[in-house]
Amino acid sequence: MGKLGQEIIRDFAGKLDNSPGVYRMLDSQARVLYVGKARSLKTRVLNYARNSGHSSRIARMISETADMMVLTTETETEALLLEQNLIKQLKPKYNVLLRDDKSFPYIFISSEHDFPRIEKHRGAKIKKGLYYGPFASAGAVNRTINTLQKIFLLRSCSDREVEAGNRPCLNYHMKRCAGPCGGKVTKEEYQELVNSADDFLKGRSTEIQEMLAVKMDKASANMEFEKAAGLRDRIRALTNIQSSQGINPKGIREADVIGLHREAAHACIQVFFIRGFQNWGNRDFYPRINLDNSDEEVLEAFIGQFYSNKEPPKQIILSHQIENHDLIVNFLTEKLGKTVDIIIPQRGEKLDIVSGAIRNAKESLGRKLEQAATQKKLLKSLADSFNLELIPNRIEIYDNSHIQGADAVGAMVVAGPEGMEKNEYRKFNIKNNEIVPGDDVGMMKEVITRRFKRLIAEDPDRKLGKWPDLIFIDGGAGQISAVSETMQSMGVSEIPLVGVAKGMDRDQGKEEFYKYGMPKFALKRNDPVLYFIQRMRDEAHRFAIGTHRARRAKKIVLSPLDGIPGIGSKRKKALLSHFGSGKAVKRASLADLKVVDGISKSMAEKIYGYFNEKT
């Protein structure tokens, strides 16, 4: 088999030239085994055709290779970016994979308003204004904004409240806002507060403290004691936020500090965000690695994937060397549009802070492995309690949510050896109009049918690890009977299915369990397995309710204009400004529609036809 793989690779390499690009190794079912980049595709691919010198991981990969694909690029840097995007998208078996890669929150202060609002921002930087971050978590942003409001009195109220200008909001009376909504501050005075907040977030906090202290002394000398007390409180708040940030390095203005700790085939990478000489929090990452991946390889793969959709800082401080230092520097420099330095410190403050990142990574990995060991014990106990043939590696839990049948949704959450796997959660908008409103059994049958139809189509051989070993559904004998029949009709009846019902008095701790064709049973009230099932069921319930609320909220804010092809935000705004409401647009005559700014004759006819065809 190994020889077959080498022959395929050798034949494929003969068709390549020395262009840079990305190659993919595929197995016999066209699944991607590995994605790699190369300065010279021909040279790199030929390396795999050697008879020796491969690690056990690479040898296994070669033996499984049945085909290859390549994409050429202009430069090796382009190849690196394409490689990381493909790894994220395809999740190949033999690549180092960053599993948790969510966006980070920022603090945003608009530049398009006379009285800019301070707010949390996540996502693309589309709006004009000042962005500060990233912060490690939404909690860190919220705490910082809360304190900044006390120090700099920037507003959090809506533009509409400010434009009304008839009365100050509650925050003004709580001394957390300068009061633009009540006309209590001029544009010039408010801009001074914005400038001070900008100075603080860029690391010039000492000057701000000195300025506030001078103002406090002056107010006190003028016997303006209330004003002096307010300034004193702002100075205290400023001191508190500085002390709560922990380590604030004096010699690092802007950097990400990245520390790696490994234990065999497990790794934790800790990232500290330093901006404006301030520590804006840290985040753990647990990449999927193989035993024979080197530290350099793991760290380089992490950096490539981490920054593929994020803006890097001017400096990155690493705990270990990386394999292609110059290539990664070029990639990050192109991304930022300015020179990015990557350093591995040997002494001084930078070494101290990267050592702190490594220590945190070690402690975090220890806790993670401990939790995983506990989780594995729970999974074994669960298998024993429910007489399962195998210890489940993937558990799917299903629940529904609706209000009297309206906006009905189904939800699936997933648990495994590492706890709840949130990337695997799925939601289902109930589509069958023939289901009687409030029919939970019918909804559950639809969800299960859609779920397994897709599984059968995408992974008929059950090799991708997406098939459940155990299913829990929220419900009793009726739900279990109906869902079992549905699964039997689809040919997947061998998967263990358990219903969880509240039991006597609907009291937590008295849950009853149902399996098809068996009498109901219960677990002891203090059984750890019972608590484990309760947590999984509660998580499914939380996810289902959240999905339902989001759907309902979206439905509430829908405009009659949303369904018209060609009506974007600008035209919608023009129509609503002219007519006052979506309903008024719906009732408007063709002549009235034609006079709206930005609405052409053909568009007016399309709008008029859309509403009149529906009536």
pLDDT in tens, 253-310: 899 999 999 998 899 999 999 988 888 888 999 999 988 899 999 999 999 999 988 8
pLDDT of residue 3: 53
User: Does the pLDDT of residue 412 top 80, yes or no?
Assistant: yes
pLDDT of residue 615: 39
Among 358-372, 521-535, 556-570, the least confident range: 556-570
User: Does the pLDDT of residue 247 top 70, yes or no?
Assistant: no
Domain co-membership, 486 together with 601: no
Q: How confident is the model at residue 248 (pLDDT cuts 50, 70, 90)?
A: low
**Structural element, H or E, at residue 208:** helix 205-221
pLDDT of residue 240: 64
Q: What are φ and ψ of residue 128, in 5° steps?
A: -80, 135
Domain co-membership, 258 together with 239: no
pLDDT of residue 382: 94
Q: Which ranges in 315-347 belong to alpha helices (H)?
A: 325-336
Domain co-membership, 114 together with 173: yes
Report the pLDDT averaged over residues 349-375: 92
Range of the domain at 302: 254-365
Q: Which of 69-78, 242-251, 567-576 has the highest mean pLDDT?
A: 69-78
Domain co-membership, 132 together with 212: yes
Q: Which of 133-142, 382-391, 564-573 has the highest mean pLDDT?
A: 382-391
- Whether residue 327 lies inside any domain: the answer is yes
If one counts the domains in the chain, the total is 5
Domain co-membership, 399 together with 539: yes
Tell me the angle at which helices 187-201 and 138-152 cross, rounded to the nearest 10 degrees.
Answer: 140
Query: What SS3 class is residue 138?
Result: helix
Q: Which of 132-141, 380-389, 572-581 has the highest mean pLDDT?
A: 380-389
- Whether residue 218 lies inside any domain: the answer is yes
Query: Residue 152, class by beta-carbon neighbours within 10 Å (0-12 exposed, 13-18 middle, 19+ buried)?
Result: buried
Domain co-membership, 180 together with 220: yes
pLDDT of residue 145: 86
User: Does the pLDDT of residue 471 top 80, yes or no?
Assistant: yes
Domain co-membership, 500 together with 428: yes
CA torsion, points 438, 439, 440, 444, in degrees to nearest 10?
-130
Domain co-membership, 541 together with 570: no
- Whether residue 383 lies inside any domain: the answer is no
% of the chain residues with pLDDT over 90: 40
Among 41-50, 98-107, 166-175, 343-352, the least confident range: 166-175
pLDDT digits (tens, 9 = 90+) for 547-590: 888 877 766 555 667 667 778 777 887 887 788 777 788 888 88
Report the pLDDT averaged over residues 145-166: 78
- Whether the CB-CB separation of 219 and 211 falls below 8 Å is answered with no
- Whether residue 380 lies inside any domain: the answer is no
Residues 6+ apart with CB under 8 A from 477: 499, 514, 520
Owner of token pair 């009061």? 179
Last residue of a domain, one of 223, 244, 265: 244
Of 289, 271, 287, the closest CA to residue 279 belongs to 271
Domain co-membership, 277 together with 338: yes
User: Does the pLDDT of residue 385 top 80, yes or no?
Assistant: yes
Domain co-membership, 451 together with 544: yes
User: Does the pLDDT of residue 221 top 50, yes or no?
Assistant: yes
- Whether residue 385 lies inside any domain: the answer is no
pLDDT digits (tens, 9 = 90+) for 299-342: 999 999 999 888 899 999 999 999 899 999 999 999 999 999 99
Ramachandran sector of residue 165 (left: φ over 0; alpha: ψ -120 to 50; beta: rest): left
Query: Residue 273, class by beta-carbon neighbours within 10 Å (0-12 exposed, 13-18 middle, 19+ buried)?
Result: buried
- Whether residue 95 lies inside any domain: the answer is no
pLDDT of residue 231: 72
Domain co-membership, 215 together with 267: no
Q: How confident is the model at residue 21 (pLDDT cuts 50, 70, 90)?
A: very high
Identify the CATH number of the domain in which residue 17 sits. 3.40.1440.10
Average pLDDT, the chain: 86
Identify the CATH number of the domain in which residue 343 sits. 3.30.420.340
Last residue of a domain, one of 513, 534, 555: 555
Among 30-39, 79-88, 245-254, 351-360, the least confident range: 245-254
Domain co-membership, 490 together with 543: yes
Among 52-56, 201-205, 448-452, the least confident range: 201-205
- Whether residue 128 lies inside any domain: the answer is yes
pLDDT of residue 533: 92
Q: How far apart are CA 326 and CA 22, in angstroms?
A: 18
User: Does the pLDDT of residue 507 top 60, yes or no?
Assistant: no
Last residue of a domain, one of 182, 214, 244: 244
- Whether residue 598 lies inside any domain: the answer is yes
Residues 6+ apart with CB under 8 A from 131: 106, 107, 108, 121, 125
- Whether the CB-CB separation of 298 and 399 falls below 8 Å is answered with no
